[in-house]
Structure 1
Amino acid sequence: MAPVLVAVFGQNPQTASGVADGMKPGYETVHICLSLDTALAELPALFSGDAVKPASGLGTNAEAEVAKVPKYLIFGAGLPAEDVAKATEAVTAKCPEAKFVQVNKEDMIAAGASGPDPKVISEVLKSKIAEMEKA
Protein backbone atom coordinates (compact mmCIF):
# COMPACT_ATOMS: atom_id res chain seq x y z
CA MET A 1 0.00 0.00 0.00
CA ALA A 2 1.28 3.47 -0.87
CA PRO A 3 2.24 5.68 2.07
CA VAL A 4 -0.12 8.43 3.24
CA LEU A 5 1.33 11.76 2.10
CA VAL A 6 1.76 14.49 4.72
CA ALA A 7 3.22 17.97 5.04
CA VAL A 8 4.55 19.45 8.29
CA PHE A 9 4.43 23.01 9.58
CA GLY A 10 6.60 23.34 12.67
CA GLN A 11 9.28 25.56 14.13
CA ASN A 12 12.16 23.20 14.78
CA PRO A 13 13.91 21.55 11.81
CA GLN A 14 15.44 18.77 13.91
CA THR A 15 12.11 17.83 15.48
CA ALA A 16 10.31 18.03 12.12
CA SER A 17 12.93 15.81 10.46
CA GLY A 18 12.82 13.37 13.37
CA VAL A 19 9.03 13.16 13.14
CA ALA A 20 9.26 12.61 9.37
CA ASP A 21 11.67 9.71 9.95
CA GLY A 22 9.45 8.28 12.68
CA MET A 23 6.39 8.34 10.42
CA LYS A 24 8.00 5.94 7.92
CA PRO A 25 7.17 3.62 6.24
CA GLY A 26 3.40 4.15 6.31
CA TYR A 27 3.62 7.92 5.90
CA GLU A 28 5.74 10.06 3.58
CA THR A 29 6.57 13.61 4.61
CA VAL A 30 6.68 15.44 1.31
CA HIS A 31 7.10 19.03 2.53
CA ILE A 32 8.24 20.78 5.72
CA CYS A 33 7.65 24.48 6.46
CA LEU A 34 9.38 26.20 9.36
CA SER A 35 7.72 29.64 9.44
CA LEU A 36 4.27 31.12 8.97
CA ASP A 37 5.42 33.16 5.97
CA THR A 38 6.66 30.10 4.08
CA ALA A 39 3.64 28.04 5.17
CA LEU A 40 1.28 30.66 3.74
CA ALA A 41 3.34 30.99 0.55
CA GLU A 42 3.91 27.29 -0.10
CA LEU A 43 1.22 25.10 1.46
CA PRO A 44 -1.94 26.37 -0.27
CA ALA A 45 -0.24 25.99 -3.65
CA LEU A 46 1.14 22.55 -2.75
CA PHE A 47 -2.22 21.23 -1.54
CA SER A 48 -3.90 22.50 -4.71
CA GLY A 49 -1.45 20.51 -6.86
CA ASP A 50 1.19 23.07 -7.80
CA ALA A 51 4.81 21.92 -7.87
CA VAL A 52 6.30 23.75 -4.90
CA LYS A 53 9.74 23.01 -3.50
CA PRO A 54 10.08 23.49 0.27
CA ALA A 55 12.16 26.55 1.14
CA SER A 56 13.39 24.56 4.15
CA GLY A 57 14.93 21.96 1.83
CA LEU A 58 13.18 19.32 3.96
CA GLY A 59 10.70 16.70 2.78
CA THR A 60 10.77 14.31 -0.16
CA ASN A 61 9.53 16.99 -2.58
CA ALA A 62 12.80 18.89 -2.04
CA GLU A 63 14.56 16.47 -4.41
CA ALA A 64 11.61 15.01 -6.33
CA GLU A 65 11.22 15.60 -10.05
CA VAL A 66 7.43 15.51 -9.65
CA ALA A 67 5.94 17.04 -6.51
CA LYS A 68 3.58 14.87 -4.49
CA VAL A 69 0.42 16.43 -3.05
CA PRO A 70 -0.15 15.69 0.64
CA LYS A 71 -3.47 14.67 2.16
CA TYR A 72 -2.68 15.84 5.70
CA LEU A 73 -1.06 18.93 7.17
CA ILE A 74 0.61 18.22 10.51
CA PHE A 75 1.13 21.13 12.89
CA GLY A 76 3.91 21.25 15.47
CA ALA A 77 2.77 21.41 19.09
CA GLY A 78 4.69 24.63 19.73
CA LEU A 79 2.98 26.69 17.03
CA PRO A 80 0.85 29.63 18.17
CA ALA A 81 -2.88 28.99 17.71
CA GLU A 82 -3.15 31.99 15.39
CA ASP A 83 -0.49 30.53 13.05
CA VAL A 84 -2.37 27.22 12.95
CA ALA A 85 -5.61 29.07 12.19
CA LYS A 86 -4.04 31.17 9.41
CA ALA A 87 -2.41 28.17 7.74
CA THR A 88 -5.59 26.08 8.04
CA GLU A 89 -7.67 28.86 6.49
CA ALA A 90 -5.20 29.41 3.63
CA VAL A 91 -4.93 25.70 2.77
CA THR A 92 -8.68 25.08 3.08
CA ALA A 93 -9.38 27.98 0.70
CA LYS A 94 -7.36 26.20 -2.01
CA CYS A 95 -8.04 22.58 -1.03
CA PRO A 96 -11.25 22.04 0.98
CA GLU A 97 -10.56 18.30 1.26
CA ALA A 98 -7.23 18.80 3.10
CA LYS A 99 -7.08 17.30 6.57
CA PHE A 100 -5.30 18.74 9.59
CA VAL A 101 -3.77 17.15 12.66
CA GLN A 102 -1.76 18.42 15.61
CA VAL A 103 -0.12 16.79 18.60
CA ASN A 104 -0.52 18.98 21.65
CA LYS A 105 1.34 19.01 24.94
CA GLU A 106 -1.43 17.02 26.63
CA ASP A 107 -1.02 14.27 24.00
CA MET A 108 2.70 14.18 24.70
CA ILE A 109 2.25 13.93 28.47
CA ALA A 110 -0.36 11.18 28.04
CA ALA A 111 2.11 9.28 25.82
CA GLY A 112 4.79 9.51 28.51
CA ALA A 113 7.05 12.18 26.99
CA SER A 114 8.44 15.06 29.02
CA GLY A 115 9.52 17.14 26.04
CA PRO A 116 9.46 17.26 22.24
CA ASP A 117 10.40 13.63 21.53
CA PRO A 118 10.13 12.98 17.76
CA LYS A 119 9.59 9.24 18.29
CA VAL A 120 6.63 9.82 20.63
CA ILE A 121 5.26 12.62 18.42
CA SER A 122 5.32 10.38 15.35
CA GLU A 123 3.58 7.53 17.20
CA VAL A 124 0.82 9.85 18.45
CA LEU A 125 0.42 11.35 14.96
CA LYS A 126 0.19 7.92 13.33
CA SER A 127 -2.52 6.96 15.80
CA LYS A 128 -4.48 10.19 15.21
CA ILE A 129 -4.24 9.90 11.43
CA ALA A 130 -5.23 6.22 11.51
CA GLU A 131 -8.38 7.22 13.41
CA MET A 132 -9.11 9.97 10.87
CA GLU A 133 -8.61 7.52 8.00
CA LYS A 134 -11.26 5.22 9.52
CA ALA A 135 -13.85 8.00 9.75
Structure 2
Amino acid sequence: MRFQAAVLRSHEDPFTIEEVALRAEPDPGEVLVEIAGAGMCRTDLAVRRSAGRSPLPAVLGHEGAGVVVATGGGPGVALDVGDHVVLSFDSCGHCRSCRAAAPAYCDSFASLNLFGGREEDPPRLTDATGKGLAPRWFG
Protein backbone atom coordinates (compact mmCIF):
# COMPACT_ATOMS: atom_id res chain seq x y z
CA MET A 1 0.00 0.00 0.00
CA ARG A 2 1.39 3.39 -1.01
CA PHE A 3 0.40 6.80 0.35
CA GLN A 4 1.69 10.32 0.97
CA ALA A 5 3.26 11.20 4.31
CA ALA A 6 5.22 13.99 5.96
CA VAL A 7 8.75 12.60 6.44
CA LEU A 8 11.40 14.11 8.69
CA ARG A 9 14.85 13.07 7.45
CA SER A 10 17.07 15.20 9.69
CA HIS A 11 16.71 17.48 12.69
CA GLU A 12 17.93 20.43 10.62
CA ASP A 13 15.64 20.08 7.58
CA PRO A 14 11.91 20.69 7.13
CA PHE A 15 9.38 17.91 6.69
CA THR A 16 8.94 16.73 3.11
CA ILE A 17 5.80 15.22 1.61
CA GLU A 18 6.83 11.89 0.10
CA GLU A 19 5.32 8.68 -1.17
CA VAL A 20 5.85 5.87 1.34
CA ALA A 21 4.89 2.20 1.33
CA LEU A 22 3.34 0.07 4.05
CA ARG A 23 4.42 -3.57 3.66
CA ALA A 24 1.85 -5.66 5.47
CA GLU A 25 -1.56 -6.16 6.90
CA PRO A 26 -1.94 -5.39 10.60
CA ASP A 27 -0.41 -7.79 13.09
CA PRO A 28 -2.48 -9.17 15.99
CA GLY A 29 -3.38 -6.31 18.31
CA GLU A 30 -3.24 -3.73 15.49
CA VAL A 31 -5.69 -2.04 13.12
CA LEU A 32 -5.18 -0.30 9.79
CA VAL A 33 -6.97 3.04 9.50
CA GLU A 34 -7.72 4.95 6.31
CA ILE A 35 -7.03 8.50 7.41
CA ALA A 36 -9.72 11.08 6.64
CA GLY A 37 -8.01 13.96 8.44
CA ALA A 38 -4.66 14.47 10.18
CA GLY A 39 -2.73 17.20 11.90
CA MET A 40 0.75 18.02 13.07
CA CYS A 41 0.94 19.18 16.65
CA ARG A 42 3.70 20.88 18.62
CA THR A 43 5.02 17.47 19.71
CA ASP A 44 5.60 16.45 16.10
CA LEU A 45 7.27 19.77 15.35
CA ALA A 46 9.43 19.55 18.49
CA VAL A 47 11.20 16.46 17.13
CA ARG A 48 13.11 18.76 14.79
CA ARG A 49 14.66 20.39 17.87
CA SER A 50 15.46 17.20 19.78
CA ALA A 51 18.37 15.71 17.88
CA GLY A 52 19.23 12.23 19.05
CA ARG A 53 15.98 11.41 20.83
CA SER A 54 13.79 10.02 18.04
CA PRO A 55 15.09 7.81 15.24
CA LEU A 56 15.13 9.35 11.77
CA PRO A 57 14.05 9.28 9.05
CA ALA A 58 10.52 9.02 10.39
CA VAL A 59 6.88 9.61 9.60
CA LEU A 60 5.50 11.73 12.41
CA GLY A 61 1.98 13.02 12.98
CA HIS A 62 -0.13 11.22 15.53
CA GLU A 63 -3.39 13.11 15.55
CA GLY A 64 -5.98 11.97 13.09
CA ALA A 65 -9.32 10.42 12.37
CA GLY A 66 -10.49 7.82 9.92
CA VAL A 67 -12.11 4.47 9.30
CA VAL A 68 -10.79 1.01 10.21
CA VAL A 69 -10.11 -0.88 6.94
CA ALA A 70 -8.42 -3.97 8.38
CA THR A 71 -7.77 -5.53 11.76
CA GLY A 72 -5.18 -8.01 12.95
CA GLY A 73 -7.57 -9.22 15.63
CA GLY A 74 -6.22 -10.65 18.84
CA PRO A 75 -6.27 -9.38 22.41
CA GLY A 76 -6.88 -5.68 22.85
CA VAL A 77 -8.60 -5.12 19.51
CA ALA A 78 -12.20 -4.15 20.13
CA LEU A 79 -12.68 -2.56 16.71
CA ASP A 80 -14.22 -3.83 13.50
CA VAL A 81 -13.76 -2.89 9.85
CA GLY A 82 -15.91 0.17 9.19
CA ASP A 83 -15.58 1.64 12.69
CA HIS A 84 -14.81 5.37 12.77
CA VAL A 85 -11.87 6.17 15.06
CA VAL A 86 -9.81 9.04 16.44
CA LEU A 87 -6.06 8.43 16.82
CA SER A 88 -4.04 9.24 19.91
CA PHE A 89 -0.94 8.06 21.80
CA ASP A 90 -0.27 4.46 22.79
CA SER A 91 -0.19 2.95 26.28
CA CYS A 92 0.42 -0.51 27.68
CA GLY A 93 -2.97 -0.87 29.37
CA HIS A 94 -1.48 -2.87 32.25
CA CYS A 95 0.67 -0.64 34.46
CA ARG A 96 -0.62 1.17 37.55
CA SER A 97 -1.26 4.42 35.63
CA CYS A 98 -3.11 2.70 32.82
CA ARG A 99 -5.25 0.73 35.26
CA ALA A 100 -6.04 4.02 37.05
CA ALA A 101 -7.36 5.54 33.77
CA ALA A 102 -4.27 7.75 33.37
CA PRO A 103 -2.63 6.32 30.22
CA ALA A 104 -0.71 9.55 29.56
CA TYR A 105 1.43 8.53 32.56
CA CYS A 106 1.97 4.95 31.34
CA ASP A 107 5.22 3.36 32.53
CA SER A 108 5.97 2.47 28.89
CA PHE A 109 4.96 5.82 27.38
CA ALA A 110 8.43 6.80 26.11
CA SER A 111 9.29 3.44 24.55
CA LEU A 112 5.86 3.09 22.93
CA ASN A 113 5.54 6.64 21.67
CA LEU A 114 8.81 8.52 21.35
CA PHE A 115 11.60 6.20 20.28
CA GLY A 116 10.39 4.52 17.11
CA GLY A 117 8.64 1.57 18.72
CA ARG A 118 9.89 -1.82 17.66
CA GLU A 119 12.74 -2.92 15.44
CA GLU A 120 11.40 -4.56 12.28
CA ASP A 121 13.13 -6.63 9.61
CA PRO A 122 12.09 -6.00 6.93
CA PRO A 123 10.86 -2.54 7.86
CA ARG A 124 7.08 -2.07 7.78
CA LEU A 125 7.28 1.47 6.40
CA THR A 126 9.67 2.43 3.58
CA ASP A 127 10.36 5.42 1.36
CA ALA A 128 10.33 5.41 -2.46
CA THR A 129 13.84 3.89 -2.55
CA GLY A 130 12.94 1.08 -0.14
CA LYS A 131 14.83 2.58 2.82
CA GLY A 132 13.16 1.91 6.18
CA LEU A 133 11.42 4.69 8.07
CA ALA A 134 10.91 4.70 11.83
CA PRO A 135 7.59 2.88 11.96
CA ARG A 136 6.04 4.18 15.09
CA TRP A 137 5.51 7.65 16.48
CA PHE A 138 2.99 8.03 19.29
CA GLY A 139 1.62 4.56 18.68
Is TM more than 0.5 here?
A: no
Q: TM-score, normalised by structure 1?
A: 0.27
Q: TM-score, normalised by structure 2?
A: 0.26
Per residue, is there more helix in 1 or in 2? 1
Question: Larger Cα Rg: Structure 1 or Structure 2?
Answer: 2
